[in-house]
Structure 1
Amino acid sequence: MTAPDLTFVLGGARSGKSRHAEQLAQARASQLALPVTYIATARDAGDAEFAARIAHHRARRPAQWGLVEADLDLAGVIAGTADGRACVLVDCLTLWLANVLCPADGKPNDDGAARMDALEAALAQAKGPIIVVSNEIGLGVVPMGAITRRYVDELGRLNQRVAALAREVTLMVAGLPMAIKSGRTGDPTGGRAA
Structure 2
Amino acid sequence: MAFQRAVVLGGSRSGKSFFAERLVRDRPAPWIYLATSQAHDTEMEQRIAAHAARRGPGWQTVEEPKKISDTLGTLPEGSTVLLECATLWLSNHMLDDSDLAAETDALLAAIDAFPGRIVTVTSEVGSGVVPESALGRRFRDAQGLLNQRLAAQADLAVLVAAGLPLVLKGRLPEGIA
TM-score scaled by length of structure 2? 0.93
Q: Supply the distance in 1 between the matched residues of 2:31 and 2:67 (Cα, whole angstroms).
A: 20
Any conservation in 2 of the 1:82–1:126 contact (CA below 8 Å)? no
Any conservation in 2 of the 1:82–1:130 contact (CA below 8 Å)? no
Deviation at 1:191, TM superposition (A): 3.6
Any conservation in 1 of the 2:22–2:176 contact (CA below 8 Å)? no
Any conservation in 2 of the 1:15–1:174 contact (CA below 8 Å)? yes
Q: Give the corresponding residue for 2:124.
A: 136
| 1:181 aligns with one of 162, 165, 169 | 169
Identical columns (%): 42
Q: Give the corresponding residue for 2:133.
A: 145
| 2:33 aligns with one of 38, 52, 77 | 38
Any conservation in 1 of the 2:35–2:83 contact (CA below 8 Å)? yes
Q: Supply the distance in 2 between the matched residues of 1:97 and 1:59 (Cα, whole angstroms).
A: 25
Deviation at 1:83, TM superposition (A): 2.5
Q: Give the corresponding residue for 2:60.
A: 66
5 Å-filtered alignment, 1:10-159, equals 10-27=9-26, 29-30=27-28, 34-45=29-40, 47-81=41-75, 83-84=77-78, 86-103=79-96, 109-159=97-147
| 1:167 aligns with one of 132, 148, 155 | 155
The SS at the match of 2:73 is helix
Q: Supply the distance in 2 between the matched residues of 1:42 and 1:129 (Cα, whole angstroms).
A: 21
Deviation at 1:183, TM superposition (A): 5.0
The SS at the match of 1:98 is helix
Gapped regions of structure 2 (runs ≥ 5): none
Deviation at 1:64, TM superposition (A): 2.4
Q: Supply the distance in 1 between the matched residues of 2:38 and 2:149 (Cα, whole angstroms).
A: 24
RMSD of aligned alpha carbons: 1.5
Residue by residue over 1:60-119, the C-alpha shift from the partner in whole angstroms, topping out at 9 and shown as x without a partner, is 1223211110121011112222621x211101001111111013xxxxx23222111100
Q: Supply the distance in 2 between the matched residues of 1:66 and 1:176 (Cα, whole angstroms).
A: 27
Q: Which runs of 4+ in 1 moved over 6 A?
A: none
Any conservation in 2 of the 1:168–1:182 contact (CA below 8 Å)? yes
Residue by residue over 1:92-148, the C-alpha shift from the partner in whole angstroms, topping out at 9 and shown as x without a partner, is 001111111013xxxxx2322211110010011111211000000001121111111
Q: Supply the distance in 1 between the matched residues of 2:111 and 2:76 (Cα, whole angstroms).
A: 8
Any conservation in 1 of the 2:84–2:121 contact (CA below 8 Å)? yes
Question: How many positions carry a matched residue from both structures?
Answer: 175
Gapped regions of structure 1 (runs ≥ 5): 104-108
